[in-house]
C-alpha cells in the first residue's frame, strides 16, 4: 500500500468534505446521533423563530447552532475522506497497463527472444496466460514467475522502499500486479482472472470497511444521551418556573425560547457527540496510513487491547532467503571435497538455497560450471517423502543432500554410519540459528552445509519498543527448537513456538475383513503452552482468523511425515470449510501431488462447505486432474446435501458419528433411515464409511446395513505418525 499521506487541510479533502457536510443535514442522517439531532432540531426551531420575528440575537443563535451542526458533519466527512482517498490511491495502481502475452505454449528450453510476444491490455488477461515483463515494465497481474530473475519495486503495495528479488522456483516466485520491474526480466504465469487481483481485494476491503460502533463508543453514546435527557428535562422545567416567578413577583420577563435553546445546547455534551463518529473514522484512517486495513471500528479498538503479538519467522522476522554460508566437513574429508559434492548435488536445484550452494563453492574453491552431458548425471528431485535431493553419477556415486535425519536413514539403509562429529556439527549449526544440510556420497557422510537466514535489520529495536508498550512478541516457526531459539535470541523476541505440529493418524479398515485400507490424517499440537485437542486449537485459530493457516500447517507437516510410511494405503486429509474451494487450498494440493506423485489421496469435504453445485463440480474436476479423490465428511450431521450427492457423487461418504454411535440400540426408525441412506450412497457409486465405531455390536450392524469401510476406536485409535 502506498505511504503517501495528505495534510490536515489538503484541498483534495476539504472541498469534498464541505459538500458532504451539507449533504449530511438530511434528517435521516442526523437522527443517528441523538445528541447532535437535538442541536439540529434546535437550529431549525431558532431559524423558524428568526424568520417569523427577525431579531439580531435570534439570528445569531441560529447561525451558531447551524455552525455547530455543520462543524460536526465536516469533521466526520474529513475523516471519511481520508479513507476514500486511500481507496482512490489504490485504484491508481490499476492504471491501464499493456502486457506482452506469449503467443502459444511456453517452453523453458526455447530462448525468450525466439518466442512471439503480443501486446495485450492487462484487463484482458486470464488465468493461465504467460506474459513477459522486462525492466521498467509494470507487472500486469498477480502471478508466479516461471522463468528468469528480476528486482521488483513493491513499495506501492508493501510500503517498503527496498526492491525485492523475484525468481522462478522456491518461495519468492509470487508477484503482484501493479508493481514494477526495476532490472532484468521475468516470465510470469497469470494466477487470477480480472477483478480477483490483490489490489482488487485491497480496494474492496477499504471500500467495504463498515462504520460499526465499537462497544466503548456505544457505552459513551448511552452516557451522552442520558446526560442530554437530564439537561433537556432541566431546561424544559425552566420555562414554567420562569413564568411562575414573573407572575408571582409582578416584575421581569420570562425566559425566551431562544435563550432556552441556546442554554440547552451549551449544557449538553455537543463537542464530544459531534466528534465521536469522526474519532472512530479517523482511527481507521490512521491505521490505513500505517499500511494496516481496519475493516471496522471494532478492529481499531481491539488493537489497543493487544498484549501478545504472534509473528511468523520466515519473511517477517528474517529476510526469508536462506543462503549457504560455510562448509563443515566430516573427519577425513576436506572442505573442497565437500563443496564439490554439494555443488554437484545442487546443479539441478532451482531453489535460492540450492543456487547459493553452487555460488559458495565457486567463491571458496573456484569450482566452476560442469558439463552435465559429459557427467551423464541423473538428477534426483526433492520430495516430501525422502526430504533430500541429489544426483546419481557413474562410478557409481550417489550424491545426496538433505535434512540430517533423512540423510541418516539413507546412509544407514546403505550400510553406512552417521558420524558423531557430523551430528555435533548439525547441533552447532542449529544453535547458531542456521539450517544444517547434510551431504552424503553413497554410504559415506561428507559433512554439513550451513544455510543462514538473516534477521532483518532494526527488528530487535522494534521489538524492544513493543516491549516498552507492554506488548509481548512470540515467534512461530516450524524449524527445530535449537534453530528457533537462536533466531529468537538474535531478533529479541520474548518467546517462540517451534516445531509445534505433531501429526496423528487413525486407521480406516474394511468393514468385513478388518484390513487397513487407509489412514485419516489428524492434526495435533506439540507445544506445552498449546492445547493438544484440534477442536481447541481451531477455536484459538478462529479467534485470530487463522483457521486456514492452521489447517495448511497440519496438512503439510502430516503428509511429509506419514507419506513414506503408508506402503500403498490411502491417505485421507481434511479440508477446513473456509478453505475448501479456495485457490490457496488447490495450490497446496498441487504441491502435495508434486511432492508425492504416487500417493493415494482422498480429500474430506465437510458438508457445511457444500453449498454451490457448480463450484463443487469445478472443484471435483480440478481434483480429478490431480488424481485426487474426495469424500463427503460428517454426512448426516445436520446438513445432508442429497442434491449435491446426486449431482456430484463423491468417491466416499463418511457418515457422521452421531448416526453411528449406539446404532445397535437405536430405534427401528433411526436404523431404517441409516440403512436407506447407505443404500442411496451405494446407488450413486460412492463407498459408505461409518465413522466413530467403538464396539463390536456397532461394527456388526454397520456390516449388515452395507457399510464397506469403518473407522473408530474399535479398529484403531489415533496414533503419532512417527510410530506407524
Q: How far apart are CA 232 and CA 244, in angstroms?
A: 19
The three-state secondary structure class of 53 is coil
Measure the CA–CA gap between 379 and 65, rounded to whole angstroms: 82
**CB 357, CB 342: distance < 8 Å:** yes
The helix (run of H) or strand (run of E) holding residue 273 is: helix 270-289
Beta-strand ranges (E) seen in 63-142 are 98-102, 117-121, 130-134
Q: Can you name the residues that pair with 148 across neighbouring β-strands? A: 186
* Bridge partners of residue 191, in order along the sequence: none
Give the C-alpha separation, 25 to 74, whole Å: 11
User: Nearest-CA neighbor of 671 among 645, 634, 700, 643?
Assistant: 700
The DSSP output letter for 210 is B
Residue with grid cell 457422521, as numbered in its chain: 656
User: Scanning the structure block, which residue is given the C-alpha cell 550451513?
Assistant: 450
Instruction: Give me the active site residues, please.
Output: 312
Cell triple for 606: 465437510
Write the DSSP assignment of 320-387 as a string of letters: S--EEEEEEEPTT--HHHHHHHHHHHHTT--SHHHHHHHHHHHHHH------HHHHT-EEE---TTT-
The dihedral region occupied by 271, where left means phi > 0, alpha psi between -120 and 50, and beta the remainder, is alpha
- Tell the residue number behind the cell numbers 531478533, with chain if given: 491
- Cβ-count burial 605-616 (b if 16+ within 10 Å, e if not): bbbebbeeeeeb
* CB neighbourhood size of 437 (10 A): 26
Amino acid at each position: 500500500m502506498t505511504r503517501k499521506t495528505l495534510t490536515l487541510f489538503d484541498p483534495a479533502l476539504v472541498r469534498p468534505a464541505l459538500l458532504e457536510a451539507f449533504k449530511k443535514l438530511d434528517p435521516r442522517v442526523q437522527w443517528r446521533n441523538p445528541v447532535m439531532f437535538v442541536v439540529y432540531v434546535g437550529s431549525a426551531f431558532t431559524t423558524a423563530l428568526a424568520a417569523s420575528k427577525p431579531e439580531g440575537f435570534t439570528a445569531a443563535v441560529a447561525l451558531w447552532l447551524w455552525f455547530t451542526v455543520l462543524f460536526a458533519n465536516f469533521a466526520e466527512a474529513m475523516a471519511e475522506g481520508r479513507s476514500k482517498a486511500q481507496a482512490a490511491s489504490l485504484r491508481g495502481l490499476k492504471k491501464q497497463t499493456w502486457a506482452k502475452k506469449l503467443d502459444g505454449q511456453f517452453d523453458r528450453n526455447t530462448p525468450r527472444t525466439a518466442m512471439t510476444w503480443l501486446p495485450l491490455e492487462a484487463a484482458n488477461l486470464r488465468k493461465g496466460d504467460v506474459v513477459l515483463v522486462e525492466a521498467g515494465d509494470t507487472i500486469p497481474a498477480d502471478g508466479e514467475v516461471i522463468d528468469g530473475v528480476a528486482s521488483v519495486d513493491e513499495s506501492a503495495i508493501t510500503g517498503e522502499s527496498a526492491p525485492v528479488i523475484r525468481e522462478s522456483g522456491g518461495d519468492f516466485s509470487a508477484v503482484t500486479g501493479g508493481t514494477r520491474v526495476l532490472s532484468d526480466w521475468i516470465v510470469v504465469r497469470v494466477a487470477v482472472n480480472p477483478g480477483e487481483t490483490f489490489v482488487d481485494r485491497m480496494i474492496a476491503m477499504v471500500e467495504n470497511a463498515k462504520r460499526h460502533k465499537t462497544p466503548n463508543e456505544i457505552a459513551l453514546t448511552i452516557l451522552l444521551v442520558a446526560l442530554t435527557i437530564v439537561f433537556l428535562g432541566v431546561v424544559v422545567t425552566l420555562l414554567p418556573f420562569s413564568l411562575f416567578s414573573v407572575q408571582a413577583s409582578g416584575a421581569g420577563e420570562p425566559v425566551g425560547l431562544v435563550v432556552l435553546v441556546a442554554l440547552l445546547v451549551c449544557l449538553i455534551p455537543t463537542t464530544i457527540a459531534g466528534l465521536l463518529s469522526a474519532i472512530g473514522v479517523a482511527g481507521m484512517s490512521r491505521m490505513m496510513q500505517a499500511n494496516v486495513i481496519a475493516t471496522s471500528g471494532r478492529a481499531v479498538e481491539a488493537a489497543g487491547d493487544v498484549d501478545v503479538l504472534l509473528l511468523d519467522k520466515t519473511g517477517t522476522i528474517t529476510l526469508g532467503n536462506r543462503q549457504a554460508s560455510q562448509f563443515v566437513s566430516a573427519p577425513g574429508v576436506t572442505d573442497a571435497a565437500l563443496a564439490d559434492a554439494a555443488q554437484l548435488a545442487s546443479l539441478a536445484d532451482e531453489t535460492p538455497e540450492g543456487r547459493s550452494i553452487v555460488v559458495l563453492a565457486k567463491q571458496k574453491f573456484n569450482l566452476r560450471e560442469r558439463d552435465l552431458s559429459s557427467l551423464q548425471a541423473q538428477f534426483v528431485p526433492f520430495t516430501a517423502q525422502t526430504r533430500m535431493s541429489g544426483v546419481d553419477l557413474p562410478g557409481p556415486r550417489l550424491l545426496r543432500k538433505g535434512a540430517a535425519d533423512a540423510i541418516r536413514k539413507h546412509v544407514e539403509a546403505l550400510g553406512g554410519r552417521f558420524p558423531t562429529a557430523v551430528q555435533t556439527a548439525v547441533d552447532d549449526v542449529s544453535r547458531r540459528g542456521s539450517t544444517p544440510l547434510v551431504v552424503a556420497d553413497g554410504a559415506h557422510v561428507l559433512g554439513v552445509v550451513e544455510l543462514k537466514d538473516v534477521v532483518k535489520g532494526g527488528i530487535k529495536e522494534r521489538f524492544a519498543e513493543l516491549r516498552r508498550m507492554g506488548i509481548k512478541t512470540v515467534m512461530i516457526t516450524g524449524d527445530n527448537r535449537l534453530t528457533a531459539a537462536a533466531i529468537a535470541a538474535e531478533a529479541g523476541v520474548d518467546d517462540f513456538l517451534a516445531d509445534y505440529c505433531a501429526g496423528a493418524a487413525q486407521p480406516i479398515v474394511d468393514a468385513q475383513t478388518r484390513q487397513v485400507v487407509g489412514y485419516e490424517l489428524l492434526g495435533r499440537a506439540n507445544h506445552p503452552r498449546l492445547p493438544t485437542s484440534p477442536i481447541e486449537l481451531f477455536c484459538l485459530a478462529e479467534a485470530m482468523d487463522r483457521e486456514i493457516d492452521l489447517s495448511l500447517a497440519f496438512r503439510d507437516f502430516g503428509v511429509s511425515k506419514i507419506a513414506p510410511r503408508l506402503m500403498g494405503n490411502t491417505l485421507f486429509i481434511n479440508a477446513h470449510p473456509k478453505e475448501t474451494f479456495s485457490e490457496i487450498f488447490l495450490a497446496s494440493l498441487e504441491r502435495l501431488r508434486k511432492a508425492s506423485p504416487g500417493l493415494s489421496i482422498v480429500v474430506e469435504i465437510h458438508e457445511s462447505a457444500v453449498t454451490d453445485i457448480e463450484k463443487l463440480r469445478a472443484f471435483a474436476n480440478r481434483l480429478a486432474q490431480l488424481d485426487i479423490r474426495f469424500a463427503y465428511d460428517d454426512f448426516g450431521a445436520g446438513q445432508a446435501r442429497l442434491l449435491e450427492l446426486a449431482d456430484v457423487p463423491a468417491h466416499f461418504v463418511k457418515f457422521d458419528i452421531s448416526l453411528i454411535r449406539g446404532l445397535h440400540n437405536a430405534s427401528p426408525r433411526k436404523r431404517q433411515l441409516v440403512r436407506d441412506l447407505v443404500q442411496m450412497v451405494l446407488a450413486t457409486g460412492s463407498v459408505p464409511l461409518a465413522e466413530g465405531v467403538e464396539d463390536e455390536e456397532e461394527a456388526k450392524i454397520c456390516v449388515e446395513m452395507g457399510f464397506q469401510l469403518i473407522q473408530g476406536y474399535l479398529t484403531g485409535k489415533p496414533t503419532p505418525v512417527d510410530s506407524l
